[in-house]
Structure 1
């Protein structure tokens, strides 16, 4: 499945602010709250989780 322009924008947003990238992809679900927690605990785990969510869905 090829990347679209919105996927690239979401990836850039996920690097800057990981929970926002997850919110744009999945909405206010458990994935969003897990990402908020991971970002609070450490910025890098939040980024990795956000990229995983964006690339998976």
Structure 2
């Protein structure tokens, strides 16, 4: 909980640092840097969207629910999987 609040405060000040913490160094970070340079608000929107997807997927995994569909506009496997593993989540058999 405190880590999430700290991440939000960092993202409010400098959006690319928040994206780097959640997604690492990759396409999402590059996109966020470009959006932040184009305008401060688009960088914030992108950063908070990535953080929302990350924490939502993380909570779903804790509850045992797994989303098969990829979140649009998110290129980081770490964000897609909610930080679980390397993007490889075994889907439950139904």
Q: Structure 1-normalised TM-score?
A: 0.88
User: How many residues are paired up?
Assistant: 54
8 A contact 1:19–1:50 mirrored in 2: yes
Query: Cα offset for 1:46?
Result: 0.3
**Superposition CA RMSD, Å:** 0.7
- Residue 45 (structure 1) aligned with residue 49 (structure 2): no
Match of 1:27 among 24, 29, 39: 24
Q: Determine the C-alpha separation between the residues in 2 that align with 1:31 and 1:53.
A: 8
Where does structure 1 lack aligned partners over 5 or more consecutive residues?
none
Where does structure 2 lack aligned partners over 5 or more consecutive residues?
55-94
Q: Structure 2-normalised TM-score?
A: 0.55
- As a proportion of its length, which structure holds more helix? 1
Greater relative contact order, per chain length (Cα 8 Å cut-off, separation 6+): 1
Per-residue displacement from partner, 1:1-55 (whole Å, max 9, x unpaired)? xxx2211111111110000000011100111000000000000000111111111
Off by >6 Å, runs of 4+ in structure 1: none
